[in-house]
């Protein structure tokens, strides 16, 4: 291929939402944006996937709730967040000021809590207007968190529940709707198909992998809760394989995440069939990682003469 002289087309369509580029920041690693506003140009991101929002405030799990492992990080934060009323009153005004698309991560302990949260946000921000960016441009249903006793991954392992919750939320909003999938299932493609059947606009995969680390001196787990969610480079091969499986099963876009720390990592996901990606754990050590990854993807496309981001999966060559 000849090198590309002009800027490649990086736009990604997720239902009614068009992302300016494919590189977003993963929920739970970037707060609601304010925490990083002095460290990175947030408006240059493809999307900000916010920290989870639950109905009631959550202080999260007791510490210790973070531990480093070889090529990874186990966390058991427990979806700590200020709750729905505080999100509406304190976070919405800030999100309105951002230039990048904002996708709110929603979590519930019961099926009805997902619809309650989305209904409350929709009521506060109103009906989306054609071509107008709002404080919220979409929702990511967290049906896959392994660090809570109720809800989370318990919903995301049952196709019938995934389809039912997705369908209920779809009736409430015209904004982009993404379902976040767990790798801790027998067949992730079946869960993705259930989300598609429920009228999701996209799926994101993967959430963290269940993991444990033990202190051999005290003979106790290094995470107070015992198990937690493993993220970081250690899970990237799992994430890439899941994206490949899901992208072959569904017709809606797949957003890839898990262990992305550089442009080559992101390109693995894009070649496997992802339409967009999210950067998570890498942000903790390098807040500029998402924008560096974006530049790397653009350079790779230019060097190979790839005009449109959506053409990248066609370059993948699976051995026959």
Task: Please give the positions annotated as active site.
Answer: 145
Q: Does the annotation place 76 within a ligand binding site? A: yes
Residues with Cβ within 8 Å of 256's Cβ and at least 6 positions away in sequence, in order, are 204, 205, 239, 240, 243, 269, 270, 272, 274, 276, 277, 278
Task: Return the bridge partners of 53, or none.
Answer: 106
Q: Does the annotation place 79 within a ligand binding site? A: yes
Q: Does the annotation place 75 within a ligand binding site? A: yes
Q: Does the annotation place 81 within a ligand binding site? A: no
CB 50 within 8 A of CB 73: no
Q: How far is CA 156 from the centre of its chain?
A: 14
Q: Does the annotation place 52 within a ligand binding site? A: yes
Q: Does the annotation place 180 within a ligand binding site? A: yes
Peptide linkage before 206 cis (omega within 30 of 0): yes
Q: Which residues of 245-255 are buried (b: 16+ CB within 10 A; e: fewer)?
A: bbbebbebbbb
**Cβ–Cβ contacts within 10 Å for residue 108, how many?**
24
Q: Does the annotation place 3 within a ligand binding site? A: no
Residue 31, SS3 per DSSP? coil
Q: Does the annotation place 5 within a ligand binding site? A: no
CA dist list (Å): 44 to 22, 135, 241: 11, 16, 28
Q: Does the annotation place 66 within a ligand binding site? A: no
Q: Does the annotation place 99 within a ligand binding site? A: no
Q: Does the annotation place 245 within a ligand binding site? A: no
Q: Does the annotation place 310 within a ligand binding site? A: no
Sign of CA dihedral 301, 305, 307, 308: negative
Annotate 113-130 with DSSP letters as a single string: HHHHHHHHHHHHH-S--T
Q: Does the annotation place 45 within a ligand binding site? A: no
Q: Does the annotation place 142 within a ligand binding site? A: yes
Q: Does the annotation place 228 within a ligand binding site? A: no
Q: Does the annotation place 24 within a ligand binding site? A: no
CB 19 within 8 A of CB 12: yes
Closest CA to 138 of 42, 275, 19: 19
Per the annotation, binding residues for substrate are 51, 75-79, 142, 207-208
Per the annotation, binding residues for FMN are 27, 51-52, 105, 142, 180, 206, 232, 258-259, 280-281
Per the annotation, binding residues are 27, 51-52, 75-79, 105, 142, 180, 206-208, 232, 258-259, 280-281
């Amino acid at each position: 291929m000849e090198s590309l002289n002009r800027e490649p087309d990086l736009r990604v369509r997720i239902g009614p939402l068009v992302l300016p580029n494919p590189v977003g920041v993963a929920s739970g690693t970037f707060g609601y944006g304010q925490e990083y506003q002095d460290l990175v140009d947030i408006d240059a991101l493809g999307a900000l996937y916010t920290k989870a929002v639950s109905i009631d405030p959550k202080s999260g799990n007791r510490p210790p709730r973070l531990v480093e492992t070889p090529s990874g990080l186990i966390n058991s934060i427990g979806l700590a967040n200020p709750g729905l009323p505080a999100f509406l009153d304190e976070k919405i005004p800030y999100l309105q000021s951002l230039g990048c698309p904002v996708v709110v991560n929603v979590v519930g302990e019961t099926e009805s809590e997902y619809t309650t949260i989305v209904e409350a946000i929709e009521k506060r921000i109103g009906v989306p207007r054609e071509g107008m960016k709002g404080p919220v441009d979409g929702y990511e249903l967290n049906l896959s968190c392994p660090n809570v006793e109720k809800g989370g991954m318990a919903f995301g392992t049952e196709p019938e529940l995934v389809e039912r919750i997705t369908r209920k939320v779809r009736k409430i909003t015209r904004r982009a709707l993404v379902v976040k999938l767990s790798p801790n299932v027998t067949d992730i493609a079946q869960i993705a198909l259930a989300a598609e059947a429920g009228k999701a606009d996209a799926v994101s995969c993967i959430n963290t992998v269940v993991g444990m680390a033990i202190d051999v001196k005290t003979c106790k787990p290094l995470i107070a809760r015992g198990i937690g969610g493993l993220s970081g480079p250690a899970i990237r091969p799992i994430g890439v394989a899941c994206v490949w499986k899901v992208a072959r099963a569904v017709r809606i876009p797949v957003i890839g995440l898990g262990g992305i720390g550089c442009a080559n990592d992101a390109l693995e996901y894009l070649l496997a069939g992802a339409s967009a990606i999210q950067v998570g754990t890498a942000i903790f050590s390098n807040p500029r990682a998402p924008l560096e990854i974006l530049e790397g993807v653009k350079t790779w496309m230019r060097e190979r003469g790839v005009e449109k981001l959506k053409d990248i999966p066609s370059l993948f060559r699976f051995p026959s």
